Amino acid sequence: MCGRFTMDASELEILKEYELNDEIIGFQPRYNIAPGQNVLAIIHDGKKKRVGFLKWGLVPSWAKDTKIGYKMINARSETAHEKPSFKKLLAKKRCLIVADSFYEWQKSENGKQPKRISLKDRKLFAFAGLWDKWEQGEEQLFTCTILTKSANKFMEPIHDRMPVILPKKEEEYWINPQTRDPDEVGQFLSHLPSSELLDAYNVSSLVNSAKNEQRECMEPLL
From the candidates 2, 95, 144, 217, give the one annotated as an active-site residue: 2
- DSSP class of residue 57 equals S
Pick the closest to residue 3 from 34, 31, 45, 49 (CA basis).
34
Quick check: is 156 catalytic? no
Candidate list 95, 104, 171, 196, residue with the active-site label: 104
Instruction: State whether residue 123 is helix, strand or coil.
Output: coil
Q: How far is CA 53 from CA 62, 67, 148, 155, 181, in A?
A: 21, 19, 20, 28, 26
What count of other Cβ atoms lies within 10 Å of the Cβ of residue 124? Answer: 19
104 is catalytic: yes
Rounded Cα distance between 133 and 91, Å, is: 15
Check residue 111 and give left, alpha or beta (phi > 0: left; psi -120 to 50: alpha): left
Residues with catalytic roles:
2, 104
